Amino acid sequence: MIRRSGAAAALSAAAIAILAAACSAPGSSSGGSGGSGSGGSTGAASGPIKIAVVDAQSGSSSDLGQFEWRGVKLAVDQVNKAGGIDGRKIQLTLFDDQGDPTVGTELARKIASEGFTAMLGTAESSVTLAMAPILQAEHIPNITSGQSTKLLKLGSPYLFLNGPTGLTYDSTLAKYLVQTKGYKKFALLTNNDSYGAGEDSAFTSSLKSLGITPVAAEVVPADQTNMTPQLNTIRSRNPQVLFIGAEEAQSGLTVKQARSLGMTAVIAEGAPAGTPLFLSTAGVANADGTIVSSPYLGNGVDAASKAFAAAYTAAYGTAPELHGAKAYDGAEVMISALKACHACTGLALASAVRAVHRTGLLGTFAYDSQGVGIFSTSIGIIKNGTIEPVSS
Amino acid sequence: MNRLFAARRPLGLAALAIVAWVLPYRLNVYWISVADTALLFALLAVGLGLVMGIAGQVNLAQVAFFGVGAYGVGILTTAHGFGFWLAALLAMVAAVCAGLVVGLPALRVQSHYLGIVTLGLAVAFLDWVTNAPVTGGDSGLSGIPTPPLFGVGLSSQYLYYYLELIVLAAGLAFGYFVVRTSLGRRLRAMRDDALAAGAAGAEIRVLRMIAFVLASVYGGAAGVLYAGLIHYIAPETFSIADMFLLLAMVIIGGRQSLWGCVVGAIGLTVAQQELINLAAYAQLGYGMLVVAVVVFAPTGLAGVPSRVRRWRLRRRSGISAAALGSFSGVPSSGRTGAVLEVSGLVMRFRGVIALDRVSLRAEPGEILGIVGPNGSGKTTLFNVISGLYRPSGGRVDLDGRVISGSRPWRISHHGVARTFQHLRLFGNLTVLDNVRMAMDRTRSWWSWRYVFWPVGVWRHERELSRQAGAVLDAFGLAAFAGALPHSLPYGIQRRVEIARAMASAPRLLLLDEPAAGLNGDEQRQLAEIVRAIRASGVTVVLIEHNMGLVMSLCDRVVVLDSGAVIASGVPASVAAQPAVLEAYLGTTTLPSEAS
């Protein structure tokens, strides 16, 4: 009996609450929820310019997030030291998305509610994909380190990439190998994780658009360390080029094993082949002649990268790599845009980013309507353990 | 104290409802999205609590159910142009199918083995979504539409909060409805002692599948809501790290309490936000918290109040045997006793022959004693008759119908009830629930009423409670109805076990050493009870070492030695047979009366 009357009390209480709630909608009156304002306008003329950096600082992709945070911070520290933008400093705030899209959406709302002008990051396409619709609705421009072509399909005018799409690595590489070098017989060895599967389809379609079908395409599990059986199959087809689509260590092992089987085919690969881990696993002699496609070949290829590497090393005590360079370029693009429009916000800032035309570490940025600013990678060749750019 | 609690509960519930309802007015856009996520995790946790805490099935694939629901909606809406709610319905069906698949291993393995298998299935799911083209691979699916409701698009985080709140409230209400009634009682009994639950008529395999289906419904619903909330899904959200976070929520909150699961989920989500700058250490923190909870408060935060209450209760009064009422006769069940016919029964365990062509017969209204030295096969005989073992040869008939080889629940439904040599009461069920569980004679498929005819469940429940109350009164146990078995003196627990066996209105009652551990007074009461059971027409077979009790109580005695029947007949004649004396004492000297 007690329980029943209690239930009735609970119901009536809930009904009262509903009636009370009907009087006004939640969220409409609560303070602190104001976004950065719609449309484009020049921001408040005083106080720092707030830029959010959203990158994984914990979880499996935290090292990527760490690299990118350093790259961004270096660029912003430099501009702040030089007096800021129209006398206003840039205030960076780092948010940890934990590599989790759900956390990303929550952070997108947080950034909006705390009045950030722009956002840099994230390290992973999936988190950016989750955040982009909210940032678009809140009119917050975002330069991401993501490379997925799905980012383009969102069609958000507020979303920009700080490097080429993942496809560009392979299309630039295929063009160089087929059109410049004249190779015709290609073999592919890729692993079965998401990176390897992506490389497999991207390089195959790049070759296809150039009228070439690979003579062999082998797939290995991502944790396999002995690639000899697949390499034997590939060797029997006698390819001129062996394209590898796997992470650094597995790529290095593949090269080492291919050479010990007596394969002489030219090795071609995307960004993993440009790393020290690849070199040390493959061995300097085996890696010789490997053709690498990467937007950032290394710290010593030109004056700009040397200056960047020196500043980065001075600030953090370690040498930079691709991700730091990309994030640095992205931050530089944002700074250029802010300078050009005098610290405007919203759509005006997005338009200013689109209008940026500057040469950075990765090449010359010129954004298209889809938010891509870099359309090719650089091709390098490994000689005596260092990467040298090829002149194409 | 309890009464006060019962009176407070609805008030607390009403206060909670008001708080939950007005909460969004106090939250900014960031915190409302945190609240939205917290409610989703709460729904997931309730599902995990049902399968793990209530049904005792280790399920590390809850996050996969979540994923199936979310990806179901994502794929159907973005790739096939389905409307949100139709896609949601189909996604729920897919989640239930996933629940059935994940539940299958539970039919063969339990505890940590089941944990490993379900974890494997969760990893397989994650692998599939990461690689399959249809799921968008690594970069997931974007552009999932906002669910419309009565013409209103739920794009506002605030409106979505209320949708989630209503779903969670409904989920909790249904969860409690299940837990507090017939189905949940069986699930809890299965968790506490699957063997005894089977012998009391619960279809263990079906119940395990039902548990996984329940978990998958909650997981699928959370997935559907997630897809509609975030509009984007990627493999990261369904990772093993998330599974362990969910597990931490349920364990810290208290897995045996659905409220505990909700508190754990909301608490940990909020803590995660507050500690976002310490995320690298937070995982370590959750890990240590889980270990601390498992060691110091195994029932989680939700279990703390009841532990404190029980401790105070014990200190204040303690349950004394004095409250034990007198036995007032067996409630008539309307059933008559059955003829038990065991013929040529053989039970081999690898090389050991535990039963060697045992034949015996028990008539309605008879008490048949089974005696023999330790290891002579008495309990094995009971285990074969009650279906725990499948015999290697021979057969058991009940009223001319073969029952040997059937599953325990089926034999229970044929009218066989038993007690165990070592007490096997359901430890986390009250005495009343122990009795109600055995009294419930419905089959598992009867549970469809939970979805389509809840009123039928309520009526059944009322009837069960009425009858169970009568059984407790008859056995003098009414004072202990709300007590947990292990808080009672041993002699009373023995009586509870007999009451539970009689609650199923059996035609044949198997008592395995019912007098073990009883004092003289309790033994006399036991004899009185057993005679009354015989008088009600039930056939009684009794294993007993206490020869005095056997001689005075049994109409006939069968003596087993090394798995074979060596003597049978009226007690006096059997006790005089040289073979019996030799089996017991190793010599042919006369036995003393009180052996």
Q: What is the residue extent of each domain of chain B?
A: 38-238, 340-585
Angstrom distance (rounded) from CA B502 to CA B533: 9
Q: List the alpha helices (DSSP H) in B49-83.
A: 62-78
User: From the CA of A7, how many Å to the nearest CA of chain B?
Assistant: 6
- Evaluate whether B431 touches B472 at the Cβ level (below 8 Å): yes
- ipTM of the prediction: 0.75
- Smallest CA–CA distance from A93 into chain B, residue: B277
pLDDT at B40 over 80: yes
pLDDT at res. B291: 87
Pairwise CB contact (< 8 Å): B21 & A18:
yes
**Option in B30, B139, B161 nearest A109 (CB):** B30
Span of A142-146, B177-181, B272-276, B414-418 with lowest mean pLDDT: B272-276
- Smallest CA–CA distance from A6 into chain B, residue: B10
The tens digit of pLDDT for each residue in B215-229 reads 999 999 999 999 999
Pairwise CB contact (< 8 Å): A30 & B27:
yes
Angstrom distance (rounded) from CA B77 to CA B464: 46
Given CB atoms, is B308 within the 8 Å cutoff of chain A?
no
Give, in degrees to the nearest 5, the angle at Cα B163 between B162 and B165.
60
Q: Domain B340-585: give its CATH superfamily.
A: P-loop containing nucleotide triphosphate hydrolases (3.40.50.300)
pLDDT at res. A302: 84
pLDDT at A12 over 80: no
pLDDT at res. A194: 73
Closest CA to B525 of B319, B318, B321: B321
Angstrom distance (rounded) from CA B344 to CA B87: 59
The residues facing A345 across adjacent strands are A41
| CB-CB neighbors (< 8 A) of B27 in chain A | 26, 30
Angstrom distance (rounded) from CA B439 to CA B68: 38
Assigned token pair, B524 = 């006399």
B240 vs A243 pLDDT, higher one: A243
- Evaluate whether A72 touches A120 at the Cβ level (below 8 Å): yes
The tens digit of pLDDT for each residue in B316-354 reads 555 565 677 788 877 766 677 888 999 999 999 988 899
| CB-CB neighbors (< 8 A) of B235 in chain A | 126
Substitution target from B29, B78, B177 for chain A, most A beta carbons within 10 A: B29
Q: Report DSSP state, residue A179.
A: I
Q: Are strands A357-359 and A364-366 parallel, antiparallel or unpaired?
A: antiparallel
Pairwise CB contact (< 8 Å): B232 & A154:
no
Q: Report DSSP state, residue A341.
A: T
Task: Give the A:B interface size as CB pairs under 8 Å.
Answer: 158
φ, ψ of residue B151 to 5 degrees: the values are 80, -5
Angstrom distance (rounded) from CA A341 to CA A354: 12
pLDDT at res. B436: 95
> What percentage of chain B has pLDDT greater than the value 90?
58
CA B72 to the chain's CA centroid: 31
Angstrom distance (rounded) from CA A95 to CA A92: 10
Cβ within 8 Å of residue A82, ≥6 positions away: none
Angstrom distance (rounded) from CA B128 to CA A190: 18
The tens digit of pLDDT for each residue in A163-219 reads 999 889 999 999 999 999 999 999 999 988 778 888 898 999 999 999 999 999 999
> What percentage of chain A has pLDDT greater than the value 70?
88
Average pLDDT rounded to a whole number, residues A255-260: 95
- Smallest CA–CA distance from A103 into chain B, residue: B34
Fold exhibited by the domain A167-294: Rossmann fold (3.40.50)
User: From the CA of B172, how many Å to the nearest CA of chain A?
Assistant: 15
Same fold, A40-164+303-375 and A167-294: yes
Angstrom distance (rounded) from CA B253 to CA B373: 49
pLDDT at B583 over 80: no
pLDDT at res. B2: 44
Given CB atoms, is B5 within the 8 Å cutoff of chain A?
no
Pairwise CB contact (< 8 Å): B17 & A198:
no
Q: How many CB atoms lie within 10 A of CB A240?
A: 16
pTM: 0.84
**Option in A13, A101, A197 nearest B236 (CB):** A101
Angstrom distance (rounded) from CA B300 to CA B256: 8
Angle formed by the axes of helices A62-81 and A322-340, nearest 10°? 40
The residues facing B401 across adjacent strands are B398
pLDDT at res. B316: 57
- Evaluate whether B404 touches B436 at the Cβ level (below 8 Å): no
Pairwise CB contact (< 8 Å): B10 & A10:
yes
User: From the CA of A135, how many Å to the nearest CA of chain B?
Assistant: 13
A224 vs A331 pLDDT, higher one: A331
Closest CA to B28 of A28, A102, A141, A53: A28
The tens digit of pLDDT for each residue in B474-494 reads 999 999 998 999 889 999 999
Average pLDDT, chain A: 87
Cα-based distances in Å from B430 to B176, B189, B368, B520: 16, 11, 31, 27
Substitution target from A19, A129, A201 for chain B, most B beta carbons within 10 A: A129
Q: Is B85 helix (H, G, I), strand (E, B) or coil?
A: helix
Which residue has tokens 């592919």? A188
Q: Report DSSP state, residue A178.
A: I
Pairwise CB contact (< 8 Å): B11 & A26:
no
CATH of the domain spanning A40-164+303-375: 3.40.50.2300
CA B472 to the chain's CA centroid: 21
pLDDT at res. B314: 67
**Option in A10, A20, A126 nearest B139 (CB):** A126
Kindly list the domain boundaries of chain A, sorted by start residue.
Answer: 40-164+303-375, 167-294
The tens digit of pLDDT for each residue in B246-283 reads 999 999 888 889 999 999 999 988 888 777 667 667 77
